[in-house]
């Protein structure tokens, strides 16, 4: 498992997402209110670029007439057929047993670690004074 | 708010399919509201400005139900130059026709003059849409073929429009919608069938339309999901009407395509019709054969939406009843329920059937074999 430095934290502000390709795999990294999540950018249903979909909430209901809207900004909706996935885990809500999208751990590392550590920085210049977003796959 | 940083230029391109395919349901859209003006007489420009359009449906603007995605379309199908999904030929080529190896694409324009009460205006808009299909689409990409759109509630004007386009290789079928003022077998629509048979053009009956009636047989439902499944009910009504009114007896060379309403319901409708016909044929003595025979001889089916039962055997049994030679592959591009060609057919289909399904049936039906 390799770790890849993808951007300084400042370049990926809350609400933004970054599309990249690592080892031939299309990946997207999201900043949701300061938390980072990485997902394979391919819907397991028919192969759409899943991560281009909107981030919405989860509408659920315990009883008819009672509707809860939770996980705001944490549910990714496929741009084609609207299948919904939990951005934290990759779990689908239409068929959780059979369909999930691959989720990759994303962390924020101080620049000193990035310079010292075994990470690969391919597209950006590493500056020791910043924090960096690092995706693992 | 999401700020997207795009690094991959081809993020929207799909996985693609190697063999050439026909896509029998593509929806071209107008980039701007007045894109039809060059094809409409000046009289209609000011009419539209002054009076607008009066549809058959109760609500004055927009469809009766909200759709699952903006413009009922894929979110990744907005053309880079702006405008709604499906309004740019170059983007359609790049996103769909080229990567999916589409050899024949049948255009089915929606939101046309059909469903407008003023029949002169309806006819003018339909005719303009047909000119627009040639100039904007079919003349610029020989893979694309148009559908003759007609003012469906006015059989005389519709037949005239079909005769005007007869023999024009830009068009491969006549387009009707499933929701009309009356069930499609009724006599007001017969001039359409007569002209289509004469022109040798199949008739595509696409789900949707605004005939003014509730979209189910028992009124207006609450949810879009009910409208989605309601299309098959409406299509069944249309098909039963076509058979029982004797349309196929009267126009024996007529070919029809049921577009975007599924096909899993076809066997059960045919079985039920045959059963009651055995008892009630005296009511419809103009029918010389069993209803199922008319259906099998005259009807083709597009695949989007394709039923997706848990057991693929159930799907294959249904298709065997219908016939592998009767299915026409369709994606419904750019709409949100789009079917990806490389993912739509389960494993276990012979090469000959795959070839028929993806390309040959369409080429044969549309006279391009």
SS3 assignment, position A29 = strand
pLDDT of residue B63: 77
Put simply, the answer to whether B338 touches A41 (Cβ < 8 Å) is: no
Report whether pLDDT(B3) > 60: no
Put simply, the answer to whether A17 touches B4 (Cβ < 8 Å) is: yes
Put simply, the answer to whether A52 touches B4 (Cβ < 8 Å) is: yes
Put simply, the answer to whether A52 touches B7 (Cβ < 8 Å) is: no
Query: What is the rounded CA–CA span in Å between residue B255 and residue B44?
Result: 34
Q: Which of B1, B2, B222 to mutate to test the interface with A (most CBs of A within 10 A)?
A: B2
Cβ-Cβ contacts under 8 Å, B15 against chain A: 47
Q: Which of B1, B4, B223 to mutate to test the interface with A (most CBs of A within 10 A)?
A: B4
State which residue of chain B sits closest to A78, comparing Cα positions: B75
Look at residues B305, B217, B218 and name the one whose alpha carbon lies nearest to residue B265. B305
Average pLDDT across chain A, whole number: 89
**Beta bridge mates, A117:** none
Q: Report how far Cα B204 is from the mean position of its chain's Cα atoms.
A: 6
Cβ-Cβ contacts under 8 Å, B75 against chain A: 52-54, 79-80
CB-defined contacts A:B, below 8 A? 71
- Band of residue B226 on the pLDDT scale cut at 50, 70, 90: very high
Average pLDDT across chain B, whole number: 93
Put simply, the answer to whether A47 touches B340 (Cβ < 8 Å) is: yes
- Band of residue B15 on the pLDDT scale cut at 50, 70, 90: very low
**Beta bridge mates, A68:** A60
What would the pLDDT profile of B243-264 be if each residue is shown by its tens digit?
999 999 999 999 999 999 999 9
| Cis preceding-peptide flag for B334 (omega within 30 of 0) | yes
* End-to-end Cα separation, chain A, in angstroms: 5
- Tokens 């599309």: give the residue: A19
Q: Which of B5, B17, B66, B308 to mutate to test the interface with A (most CBs of A within 10 A)?
A: B5
Mean pLDDT of B128-140: 98
Put simply, the answer to whether A82 touches B3 (Cβ < 8 Å) is: no
What would the pLDDT profile of A36-77 be if each residue is shown by its tens digit?
999 999 999 999 999 999 999 999 999 999 999 999 999 999
pLDDT of residue B13: 44
- Tokens 């005939």: give the residue: B211
**Residues of chain A with a CB closer than 8 angstroms to some CB in chain B:** 12-13, 15-21, 26, 41, 45-49, 52-55, 79-82
pLDDT of residue B9: 42
B265: alpha, beta or left? (left if phi > 0; alpha if psi -120 to 50): alpha
Query: What is the rounded CA–CA span in Å between residue A54 and residue A56?
Result: 6
* % of chain B exceeding 70 in pLDDT: 95
* End-to-end Cα separation, chain B, in angstroms: 50
Retrieve residue B182's tokens.
């009356």
Look at residues B121, B130, B125, B94 and name the one whose alpha carbon lies nearest to residue B112. B125
SS3 assignment, position B289 = coil
Cβ-Cβ contacts under 8 Å, A80 against chain B: 74-76, 336, 338, 340
Give the minimum alpha-carbon distance from A51 to chain B in angstroms, rounded to a whole number: 10
Cβ-Cβ contacts under 8 Å, B1 against chain A: 15
Put simply, the answer to whether A19 touches B11 (Cβ < 8 Å) is: yes
Report whether pLDDT(A121) > 90: no
- Band of residue B59 on the pLDDT scale cut at 50, 70, 90: low
Report whether pLDDT(B6) > 70: no
State which residue of chain B sits closest to A24, comparing Cα positions: B8
How far lies B361's CA from each of B170, B326, B353, B354, in Å?
19, 7, 10, 10
Mean pLDDT of B147-162: 97
Report whether pLDDT(B17) > 60: no
Cβ-Cβ contacts under 8 Å, A64 against chain B: none
Cβ-Cβ contacts under 8 Å, A20 against chain B: 7-8
Give the minimum alpha-carbon distance from A128 to chain B in angstroms, rounded to a whole number: 24
Which residue in the set B2, B69, B76 is minimally distant from A55, CB to CB? B2
Look at residues B103, B106, B128, B116 and name the one whose alpha carbon lies nearest to residue B28. B106
State which residue of chain A sits closest to B15, comparing Cα positions: A47
pLDDT of residue B10: 47
Report whether pLDDT(A100) > 80: yes
Mean pLDDT of A106-134: 73
Look at residues B7, B70, B305, B337 and name the one whose alpha carbon lies nearest to residue A41. B7
Which residue in the set A12, A49, A80 is minimally distant from B338, CB to CB? A80
Report whether pLDDT(B7) > 80: no
Whether A69 and A46 have beta carbons less than 8 Å apart is answered as: no
pLDDT of residue A2: 83
Cβ-Cβ contacts under 8 Å, A48 against chain B: 14, 74, 76, 340
Whether B136 and B144 have beta carbons less than 8 Å apart is answered as: no
Strands B256-259 vs B203-206: parallel, antiparallel or unpaired: parallel
Query: What is the rounded CA–CA span in Å between residue B137 and residue B147?
Result: 12
The DSSP symbol for B2 reads P
Q: Report how far Cα A56 is from the mean position of its chain's Cα atoms.
A: 14
DSSP letter string, B208-269: ----SS-SBTTB--S-HHHHHHHHHHHHHHHHHHHHHTTHHHHSTT--EEEESS-STTHHHH
Retrieve residue B219's tokens.
């009124």
Query: What is the rounded CA–CA span in Å between residue B177 and residue B59?
Result: 18
Who wins on pLDDT, B172 or A23? B172
Report whether pLDDT(A116) > 90: no
- Band of residue B64 on the pLDDT scale cut at 50, 70, 90: confident
Query: What is the rounded CA–CA span in Å between residue A45 and residue A85?
Result: 11
Helix axes B291-298, B266-280, angle to 10 degrees: 140
Cβ-Cβ contacts under 8 Å, A47 against chain B: 14-15, 340, 342-343
Report whether pLDDT(A112) > 80: no
H or E segment to which residue B344 belongs? none
SS3 assignment, position A94 = coil
Who wins on pLDDT, B65 or B200? B200
Mean pLDDT of B194-215: 94
- Band of residue A97 on the pLDDT scale cut at 50, 70, 90: confident
Report whether pLDDT(B8) > 50: no
Q: Which of A17, A44, A79, A123 to mutate to test the interface with B (most CBs of B within 10 A)?
A: A79
């Amino acid at each position: 498992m390799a770790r890849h430095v993808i951007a300084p934290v400042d370049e990926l502000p809350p609400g933004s997402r970054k599309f990249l390709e690592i080892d031939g795999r299309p990946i997207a990294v999201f900043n949701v209110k300061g938390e980072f999540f990485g997902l394979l950018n391919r819907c397991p249903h028919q192969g759409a670029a899943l991560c281009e979909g909107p981030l919405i909430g989860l509408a659920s209901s315990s009883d008819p007439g009672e509707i809860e809207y939770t996980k705001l900004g944490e549910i990714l909706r496929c741009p084609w057929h609207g299948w919904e996935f939990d951005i934290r885990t990759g779990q689908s809500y239409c068929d959780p047993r059979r369909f999930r999208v691959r989720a990759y751990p994303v962390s924020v590392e101080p620049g000193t670690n990035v310079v010292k550590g075994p990470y690969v920085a391919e597209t950006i210049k590493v500056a020791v004074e910043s924090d960096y977003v690092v995706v693992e796959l | 708010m999401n700020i997207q940083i795009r690094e991959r230029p081809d993020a929207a391109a799909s996985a693609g399919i190697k063999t050439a395919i026909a896509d029998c349901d593509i929806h071209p859209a107008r980039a701007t509201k007045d894109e039809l003006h060059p094809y409409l007489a000046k009289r209609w420009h000011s009419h539209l400005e002054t009076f607008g359009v009066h549809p058959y449906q109760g609500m004055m603007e927009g469809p009766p139900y909200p759709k699952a995605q903006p413009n009922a379309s894929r979110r990744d199908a907005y053309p880079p130059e702006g405008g709604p999904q499906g309004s740019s030929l170059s983007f359609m080529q790049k996103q769909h026709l080229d990567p999916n190896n589409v050899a024949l694409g049948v255009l089915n324009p929606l939101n046309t003059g059909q469903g407008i009460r003023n029949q002169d205006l309806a006819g003018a808009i339909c005719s303009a849409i047909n000119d627009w299909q040639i100039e904007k689409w079919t003349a610029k990409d020989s893979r694309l073929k148009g559908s003759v759109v007609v003012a469906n509630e006015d059989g005389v004007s519709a037949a005239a429009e079909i005769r005007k386009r007869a023999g024009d290789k830009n068009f491969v079928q006549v387009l009707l919608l499933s929701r009309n003022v009356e069930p499609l077998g009724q006599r007001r629509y017969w001039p359409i069938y007569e002209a289509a048979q004469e022109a040798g053009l199949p008739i595509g009956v696409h789900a949707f339309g605004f005939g003014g009636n509730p979209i189910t047989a028992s009124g207006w439902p609450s949810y879009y999901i009910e409208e989605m499944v309601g299309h098959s009910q409406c299509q069944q009504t249309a098909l039963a009407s076509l058979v029982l009114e004797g349309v196929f007896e009267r126009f024996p060379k007529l070919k029809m395509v049921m577009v975007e309403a599924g096909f899993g319901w076809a066997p059960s409708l045919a079985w039920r019709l045959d059963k009651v016909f055995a008892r009630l044929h005296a009511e419809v003595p103009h029918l010389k054969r069993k209803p199922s025979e008319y259906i099998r001889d005259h009807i083709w089916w597009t695949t989007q939406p394709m039923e997706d039962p848990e057991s693929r055997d159930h799907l294959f049994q249904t298709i065997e009843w219908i016939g592998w030679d009767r299915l026409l592959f369709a994606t419904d591009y750019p709409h949100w329920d789009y079917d990806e060609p490389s993912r739509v057919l389960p494993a276990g289909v012979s090469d000959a059937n795959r070839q028929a399904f993806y390309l040959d049936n369409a080429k044969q039906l549309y006279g391009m074999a």
